[in-house]
Amino acid sequence: MPGDALRDLADYIKENLDNHVGAYEFKKNELVLYAVRSGICKVLSFLRDDKECHCELLMDITAVDYPERAHEQGTGRFEVVYSLLSLRHNHRIRVKIYTDEFELIPSATSVFSSAGWFEREVWDMYGILFDGHNDLRRILTDYGFEGHPQRKDFPLTGYVELRYDEELKRVVYEPVKLTQDFRYFDYESPWEALTDVQLPGDEKAMSPAHGYKAAKKAAKKG
């Protein structure tokens, strides 16, 4: 359960950002704020500058894809999460907003310069657009990559594969030919499949056929 200090902080933030923070909750003794998309910069600025919050570090910006949420709740399929840390007060605050692939989120680069890298990663992985970002381009995938791989509707095989062509002396892209029927993986090791063979040393981890406790009792009686 969160302490009284964290609960008081949540009420304090909600009181000062009532127009920009709709609700809050506590998860694993950490404060989670649900903010309005258009007011995200206002919220982050307050959490950074206010002496009661003093979250001077933006640790991460990430996202989660919930395709069914757009139909069930009408809030947008993506949940964008901002993770903040206060070294002075030793607390963490997470800010969450909802969006979809069409809406623009105000870029947080004017509040935290480190947001530039994080927002590029979120766009690369999820296709979420940030308004005001001056260099929104891919950061993890190749520039010729198609799609956004962290979306739930992105195929596991991808759309294309790349290889180095010795004749052309460059990397070439080709359509993926691996069908879904071949995406079956047997994670059982060869040793686990040997049910009728006992290798030297295996007996150390094996219990008697009639049970370990029964064998222990029999040994005591003997």
Select from 42, 28, 59 the least CA-distant residue to 108: 42
Specify the pLDDT at position 183.
40
Residue written as tokens 């064998």?
A: 215
Specify the pLDDT at position 155.
81
Specify the pLDDT at position 42.
97
Number of Cβ atoms within 10 Å of the Cβ of 95: 26
Distances (CA, A) of 66 to 74, 90, 95, 158: 11, 31, 17, 20
Beta bridge partners, 82, equal: 61, 95
The pLDDT of residue 8 is above 60: yes
H helices present in the chain, as ranges = 4-16, 40-49, 69-72, 115-126, 190-193, 212-221
Specify the pLDDT at position 36.
95
- Rounded mean pLDDT, 43-71: 93
Model pLDDT for residues 86-131, shown as the tens digit of each residue: 999 999 999 999 999 889 999 999 999 999 999 999 999 999 999 9
Query: Model pTM?
Result: 0.74
pLDDT band at 161 (very low <50, low <70, confident <90, very high): confident
Question: Reduced to 3 states, what is the DSSP secondary structure of residue 102?
Answer: coil
From 55-69, 100-114, 167-181, 204-218, the region with the lowest mean pLDDT: 204-218
The CATH superfamily label for domain 4-149 reads NADH:ubiquinone oxidoreductase Nqo5 subunit (3.30.460.80)
Contacts of residue 38, defined as CB under 8 A and 6 or more positions apart, other chains included, come to 106
Model pLDDT for residues 37-53, shown as the tens digit of each residue: 999 999 999 999 999 99
Model pLDDT for residues 140-160, shown as the tens digit of each residue: 988 778 889 999 888 877 788
Specify the pLDDT at position 218.
61
Residue 165 has, within 13 A of its CA and on its CB side, a CA count of 10
Residue 173 has, within 13 A of its CA and on its CB side, a CA count of 8
Average pLDDT, the chain: 84
Select from 80, 89, 23 the least CA-distant residue to 57: 89
> Which 8-state DSSP code applies to residue 159?
S
Give residue 96's identity as a one-letter amino acid code.
K
